[in-house]
Amino acid sequence: MAIKDRLSGNEAVAIAMRQINPDVMAAYPITPSTEIPQYFTTFVANGKVDTEFIPVESEHSAMSACIGSEAAGARTITATSSAGLALMWEVLNVAASDRLPICVALVCRALSGPININCDHSDAMGARNTGWIQLFAENNQEAYDNMVQAYRIAEHKDVMLPIMICQDGFITSHAVENIELLEDDVAKNFVGEYEPDHYLLKDDESVAYGPYAVTNYVMEARRAQMQGLRNAKQVILDVAKEFAEISGREYGFFEEYRLEDAEFAMVIIGSAAGTAKDVVDRLREKGIKAGILKLRVFRPFPAEEIAESLKNVQYLAIMDRCEDFNTNCGPLGAEVRSALYVKGHSPVSINYCYGLGGRDVTVESLTSVFEDLMTAKETGDAGESYRYLSVRE
């Protein structure tokens, strides 16, 4: 039976971690993720988990410790945000290359500069090409549910890659919402125990992690790593199906909201999707065929599935909560447009950079996005293909 509670996103993720009961957690505090290891250390101190908690001197050290413990055969977890993830940059690539299914609870926050502690996706998107699986949550419930599913995905024999469970800093991490938790035994049985085939402390087996690769091996290693990401697509769907059986909550690569007959659509990630749904409901009341595609899985990128979902959309807004500094588009804009191009779909599209540094995302601001799409239809001119939303020019 589901346990009803009122929890912040950080609390919900920490409870999921308690239910998983990982072997090791190495962490260093950084706003707004600090509460996650803070809550978790109380579970350690009170004997509610068997986890070895390792306090370290930096986030680089945290990920380095995670790599060491995971390579030794221990299920390992950490949490971070913003500059903390940036300080891990070097070893994020090592973790993925070594095929270590470490889990990071990432509470998304703007990267400096200017210095800012509020939400945008510049940290997660900056790490998008390090080889990690990335799942995003709209709300606290999804943050909890994604964390429960994380190790089943990452530790699958056909995947064996690290995973980031991403939620929006302060917006979900600190806001309290009604939530349904799984019972402890149900969650633990669903996740199961970690049984790696190869690890450093395994008797009678010689294995090395992170050796120097000469020219003859690098491409093959990268190709094998890519295959793990490709395999993750089906694993993500399979795990979600099993999770639905114990929770009643269904997940996929994305959520289609009133998209079946949409002429105008928005692709968006994270908490702002909730506001976007309110906008769509209001537009539908006026007879405007608007819809939302809310992306949950960003890595591996479900390009074919997104293109299929959007194939009948004529006017499309793609929302990036970070700036990629290429003067052309944001990371989500580039991915979605590429996916559509490959499949021969060519809706009129506008890519928006929005919500940087915690800038408010309101019903009014997102309504203006759909109004821009409607203007493009009326005039036959989409205007700038890449633009800022709610900025003082």
Give residue 66's pLDDT.
98
- H helix runs in 286-346, sequence order: 303-309, 331-342
- The verdict on pTM exceeding 0.85 is yes
pLDDT, tens digit, 9 for 90 and up, residues 298-318: 999 999 999 999 999 999 999
CATH number assigned to the domain with residue range 254-388, chosen from the 4 options 3.40.390.10, 1.20.1260.10, 3.90.1150.10, 3.40.50.920: 3.40.50.920
Out of 38-42, 101-105, 207-211, 348-352, least confident range: 207-211
Q: pLDDT above 90 covers what percent of the chain?
A: 98
Shared fold status for 3-247 and 254-388: yes
Q: pLDDT above 70 covers what percent of the chain?
A: 100
Q: Domain-by-domain residue ranges, the chain?
A: 3-247, 254-388
pLDDT, averaged across the chain? 97
107 pLDDT tier (thresholds 50, 70, 90):
very high
What integer is the mean pLDDT of 89-106? 97
Give residue 154's pLDDT.
98
Q: Are 337 and 349 in contact (CB under 8 A)?
A: yes
| Alpha carbons 352 and 343: distance in angstroms, whole number | 22
Q: Are 163 and 104 in contact (CB under 8 A)?
A: yes
pLDDT, tens digit, 9 for 90 and up, residues 266-309: 999 999 999 999 999 999 999 999 999 999 999 999 999 999 99
Domain 3-247 belongs in CATH node 3.40.50.970: yes
| Alpha carbons 251 and 238: distance in angstroms, whole number | 10
φ, ψ dihedrals at 303, nearest 5°: -60, -50
pLDDT, tens digit, 9 for 90 and up, residues 220-260: 999 999 999 999 999 999 999 999 999 999 999 999 999 99
Q: Are 322 and 268 in contact (CB under 8 A)?
A: no
| Alpha carbons 118 and 357: distance in angstroms, whole number | 5
How far apart, in Å, are the Cα atoms of 316 and each of 129, 298, 320, 346, 391?
A: 25, 18, 13, 10, 21
Listed residue (131, 34, 30) closest to 82, CA to CA: 30
Residue 1, pLDDT > 80, answer no
Count other Cβ atoms within 10 Å, centred on residue 347: 18
